[in-house]
Amino acid sequence: MDISSLMKENAAALMPALEENLKTPDESLETLYSAMRYSALSGGKRIRPYLVNRFCRLFGGDEKAAIPFECAIEYVHASSLIHDDMPCMDNDDLRRGKPTNHVVYGEDIALLAGDALITRGYEIAATNPFVSPEIALHATKLILGNAGGEGMMGGQQIDLLAEREKPSYELLLKMHEKKTGALIRTAALLGCAAAGIIDETDERYKAADEYARGIGLAFQIIDDILDVEGDAAILGKAVHADAKEGKTTFISFMTPAKAREYARQVTENAADAIRKYPASDELVEFAYFLLKRNK
Amino acid sequence: MDISSLMKENAAALMPALEENLKTPDESLETLYSAMRYSALSGGKRIRPYLVNRFCRLFGGDEKAAIPFECAIEYVHASSLIHDDMPCMDNDDLRRGKPTNHVVYGEDIALLAGDALITRGYEIAATNPFVSPEIALHATKLILGNAGGEGMMGGQQIDLLAEREKPSYELLLKMHEKKTGALIRTAALLGCAAAGIIDETDERYKAADEYARGIGLAFQIIDDILDVEGDAAILGKAVHADAKEGKTTFISFMTPAKAREYARQVTENAADAIRKYPASDELVEFAYFLLKRNK
């Protein structure tokens, strides 16, 4: 199974909707919307939309209902990258091989574009026309709770403070669970929602949750390994950045080989959580694809 | 009628809920939540929550249902102030007589606190336990649409570009309609929603909308006049800031006296839109209170 091609297909199929939702509504707003599009449409792996789509499909949902949720989660993710890259945060000039948003549009517009893009993401979920109001509300609450202070943004705060004072291993885990894990988990659960599953006690909901927690953690471990052992040309970003910044990562607590073994175990558990569902093959393979990625 | 005292009473009654929603959920997130509370609980006129409350009351709603919406709109507003004050935007050190968020917490935490506070605002609206899912979803969409790129944030973009190229009078109006007007209008409509009115064709909805558009515009005209004629000690911020920065305001297009007359007319129209409803006296007087304010 060629996961990479399947992901690209899903990303390509999503593109019209991603563009449509960010059309400039009024010429006086062209700068803002152009900045929003610059970051949201500039590629990337589109892992989160792919997960939304495949969990919707796994549980027999109509993929049309997944599309707005795919856009929503991607906008939220892209917004976080705009703000993360800003000089007062990570101060990155390059993202996906292109100048970062604030380099192109200036810090003021980049700040606003991040604000407007995340708000648009939430809005697209809330206004999904292919699901009931109950499901739209559930999905919106899911995204808000996992993007906000107790989720992704909370993880970013832990990350920021961790640069000043070395975090414990437990805090490192918590940071990743929030910073990256929360949105990956949300993606899988949005797929469930698109398929009509919004009951937290439903075993399909729990299986999706467990799978996503696993691949989210493995994803981050691999990220840390790639910063040490990866190829900058393939990654599209500098390597050894963590070490240079004195950042605490999984590699601060174990060798790359041990970290890889840990990621493998976590991936296996994730795969096991969904294996019993017919048609789970692709998602099982996707978990291993993430484990083996080199970018 | 002592509008100022009534507003203070409403603000005081809201305080426990404003605090409760921003309690630190986990000690590792204390910095982020402390920064969120710093800006959201630091006072201000609380005009938007007051409007939510009074429109809910005007149309016979249960005020309990208004509280989460009051918090939501105030958090969204406070978040916008955090980002507005940042060095890459207006670069203000002082807000409501206190150091601004980034001065106290640093730019990185302030950026995140703004993100997390607005997200929390949206979430509090979406999770309002005192209304039906349909009303919660309506209210959430209302806030998202009016805070985002087509609303407040769009207005901020117009404002930013207006500093580089002088805007026309039409563009100035559009900027204010979005930047300040959109949230004031949302506040009134959230009050309607708390009272169960979410049909845009309902004449009470339309009356609230018209009233709020009027007082929003008058509010901004008065703001521009106060920057010219106000007292810095009473305002709690520097005057003549607009002129110093070469900003285009209503005073760029008319004398302060003409501007005041315009604000008076707009206020009168706003008051007329709701006069026929019993118990509209306070909101009518509130419109004139805003017109006569000196801070």
pLDDT per residue as tens digits for the range A155-201: 999 999 998 889 999 999 999 999 999 999 999 999 999 999 999 99
pLDDT at position A232 is 82
**By CB neighbour count within 10 A (0-12 exposed, 13-18 middle, 19+ buried), where does A262 fall?**
middle
* Interface membership of A27 toward B (CB under 8 Å): no
Q: Encoding tokens for residue A58?
A: 């796994």
pLDDT at position A71 is 98
pLDDT at position A242 is 81
* Interface membership of B257 toward A (CB under 8 Å): no
pLDDT at position A295 is 81
Nearest chain A residue to B21, by CA? A149
Q: Encoding tokens for residue A179?
A: 């910073």
Give the three-state DSSP class for B279.
Answer: coil
pLDDT at position B241 is 83
Mutant choice from B80, B108, B174, B178 vs A, greatest count of A C-beta within 10 A: B108
pLDDT at position B131 is 98
CA distance to partner chain B, nearest, from residue A271 (Å)? 30
Stretch A280-285: mean pLDDT, rounded? 97
Stretch A91-107: mean pLDDT, rounded? 94
Q: What is the C-alpha to C-alpha distance for residues A149 and A128, in angstroms, rounded to an integer?
A: 24
* Interface membership of B255 toward A (CB under 8 Å): no
pLDDT at position A141 is 98
pLDDT per residue as tens digits for the range A225-252: 999 988 888 877 778 888 788 889 999 9
**Which residues from B are below 8 Å from A137, CB to CB?**
126, 133, 136-137, 140
ipTM reported for the complex, 2 dp: 0.96
Residue A257 has pLDDT above 90, yes or no: yes
**Which residues from A are below 8 Å from B122, CB to CB?**
119, 122, 140, 144
* Interface membership of B291 toward A (CB under 8 Å): no
pLDDT at position B295 is 81
* DSSP letter for each residue of A249-273: -GGGTS-HHHHHHHHHHHHHHHHHH
Q: What is the DSSP letter of B94?
A: E
Helix %, strand %, coil % for chain B, to 5? Answer: 70, 0, 25
Residue A80 has pLDDT above 80, yes or no: yes
Mutant choice from B119, B140, B143 vs A, greatest count of A C-beta within 10 A: B119
Q: Between B36, B127, B149, which is nearest A29 by CB? A: B149
CA distance to partner chain B, nearest, from residue A122 (Å)? 7
pLDDT at position A125 is 98
Stretch A14-39: mean pLDDT, rounded? 98
Spans in chain B with pLDDT lower than 70? none
Pick the residue with more confidence: B241 or A144?
A144
Are residues B167 and B183 in contact, defined by beta-carbon separation less than 8 angstroms? Answer: no
Q: Between B153, B160, B174, which is nearest A115 by CB? A: B153
* Interface membership of A265 toward B (CB under 8 Å): no
Phi and psi at B250, nearest 5°, equal -60, -30
Q: How far is CA A51 from the centre of its chain?
A: 10
**Which residues from A are below 8 Å from B140, CB to CB?**
122, 126, 137, 140
pLDDT at position A197 is 98
Strand pairing category for A94-95 and B98-99? unpaired
CA distance to partner chain B, nearest, from residue A24 (Å)? 9
Domains of chain B plus CATH, in order, are 3-292 (1.10.600.10)
CA distance to partner chain A, nearest, from residue B235 (Å)? 26
Half-sphere exposure of A199 (CA within 13 A, CB side): 4
Give the three-state DSSP class for A179.
Answer: helix
**Cβ distance of B137 and A137 shorter than 8 Å:** yes
CA distance to partner chain B, nearest, from residue A41 (Å)? 17
**Cβ distance of A108 and B119 shorter than 8 Å:** no
pLDDT at position A229 is 87
Stretch A92-96: mean pLDDT, rounded? 89
Are residues A92 and B92 in contact, defined by beta-carbon separation less than 8 angstroms? Answer: no
Over its C-alpha atoms, chain A yields an Rg (Å, rounded) of 18
Q: List Cα–Cα distances, A248 to A225, A229, A285, B146, in angstroms.
A: 12, 16, 30, 40
Quick check: pTM over 0.80? yes
Q: What is the DSSP letter of A14?
A: H
Confidence tier at A289 by pLDDT (50, 70, 90)? very high
Mutant choice from B79, B88, B172, B186 vs A, greatest count of A C-beta within 10 A: B88
Q: What is the DSSP letter of B179?
A: I
* Interface membership of B287 toward A (CB under 8 Å): no
Are residues B48 and B181 in contact, defined by beta-carbon separation less than 8 angstroms? Answer: no
Phi and psi at B239, nearest 5°, equal -100, 175
pLDDT per residue as tens digits for the range A147-168: 999 999 999 999 999 988 899 9
Stretch A264-290: mean pLDDT, rounded? 97
* Interface membership of A23 toward B (CB under 8 Å): no
Are residues A14 and A67 in contact, defined by beta-carbon separation less than 8 angstroms? Answer: yes
Q: What is the mean pLDDT of chain A?
A: 95
